[in-house]
Amino acid sequence: MNAKPEINRIYASIAVAFGWLLFLALWLFFYATNFGIIQNIGILLASVVVLSIIEVVIWVPWALNQE
């Protein structure tokens, strides 16, 4: 079955992506100089994990309803 997802899920994914990019830009502009390279990589990885969790919460319920 090839059902289209609700438009709200798509908009939510786009909003999350832009929010993540905004977070990264603000982090790099205001806070990155206060931390070492390893700490900044840790923040990047932690933000990717949070981004992934949010996207999973958005999309898994839709995927589970597909047959």
The reply to whether 20 falls in a domain is: yes
Instruction: Quote the domain boundaries for residue 17.
Output: 7-64
pLDDT at 66: 87
The reply to whether 14 falls in a domain is: yes
Per-residue pLDDT of 23-55, as tens digits, reads 999 999 999 999 999 999 999 999 999 999 999
Whose structure tokens read 């806070």? 31
The reply to whether 1 falls in a domain is: no
The reply to whether 31 falls in a domain is: yes
pLDDT at 3: 83
User: Considering its fold, how many domains does the chain have in total?
Assistant: 1
Of 53, 62, 56, 52, the C-alpha closest to 3 is: 62
Q: pTM here?
A: 0.88
